Structure 1
Amino acid sequence: MSDKLFNKLNKLRLNAQKKGHFVVDAAASCLTENPESLDYQINLVGSLHETGALRNSLSPYWMEFRKTEEAWANRCITRLISNDRDYWAVAALLGCSAGTVVLEAQRLAFVVVSVRSYERYDLPVVHVATMAISRADRILSPLLEIGWDIKSEELVDCVRARAVLLDTEEVLDGSLVGEGSMTYFCRATLPHGSWRAASLPFSIPAAAVVSGASPNPKFKRDA
């Protein structure tokens, strides 16, 4: 570990202790002991987002740890395949190139079943790829949703759920449309936002489907 990073982590720990952000303190402590651990790096970034850190605080760690964005995304998604409560891995995907994240998810057997959009106030539209490994008997499991800013193609919204049970479903322009419920839900967004729930309604309305985008979203940069 470089002296610069070591000093930065020690300062971060002191500030976290003062603010009562003990998850950040614990994550930084583990990383100080094993700075090459990709999991500990992911934990630190995820814990920072969990405690409300904004881009100016997160970006230096993104640049420090994401030397190979593909490996970073792959490890986050691998953790999310079987873990219902790994919020840190969800949050650690934010800021990555959406093309990279979608490709790594596909390499790990996720399939894009739908692409929809939503608007944000005074910010570019977000496109969301809904992905799952298994789709059978109206069940999507596990669910991974990757949402990106359509101008920067940066990932700004990430969702993971254990499963979605669809009460209704149909296919519109290649995308799944339907309503149902989902379990063990985690969501992280930029510039801020953190949610967890045991169960929530699930919906992909026909009006939100992005025409011609599924099954493979197109990105301006190489994925």
Structure 2
Amino acid sequence: MAEDEGSASNDFAHEPGVPREEITRRYALWAQSAKYEKDLREEVYKGPSIAADVVAEYFPNENLRKSARILDVAAGSGFVGEKLKEKNFQTIDALEPCGQMLQLALKKGIYNHIFQSYLNGHVLEIEADHYDAAVISGGMGEGHIPCSGLDELIRVIKPGGIATIVMREEYLRSVAEYRDRLEPRMWELEGQRKWRRLARDLVPGYSFQNTGVVFVFRVLEESGKLKGR
């Protein structure tokens, strides 16, 4: 398959102005077509490897990786989960709104628990302070996770835990939801002592030769998060 075919499929799931529910439906069709994993194979989409490498840096030994609870947000068919398993993480849960994508993920036997839901600011069926780390790779884009999802991301991570977001760098400017909003919201949450930035790094060749950006934050004790539901 030519590289531009996969890129076109990815654009199909990131069309500006399309409602979130329609984007989810397009992902369902993509999953049912059996092309998804070919279109986003590692040769053209390196986001999952990048994300897993970053998470592993903060859990540098095998004991930490075996005991850590990880939430894979916008898990899709389990690309990130597979990479985390390769690095000996044992307890990985998936958050993903598309049922057809979750069906692909379930076949891989990666995840301990699966939550079919959006990360969009509404309170999830997950208790507060539950995860040692949460990771997003490919979940940011047109009709994807909104800025309001950051608060709920923080809520489910333990104080001292790590939030990692890997996304296409150009989306910070080209996606209306994020332009002049996503990074300012990140820094606002930092000013509110919800989390502290550990990294903001550009990575070449993130997807289809596009540059990616990696954000890493540590959730703080003083975050004053809402407990429970």
Shorter-chain TM-score above 0.5: no
TM-score normalised by L of structure 1: 0.31
> Which has the larger Rg?
1
Report which of the two has the higher share of strand: 1
TM-score normalised by L of structure 2: 0.30
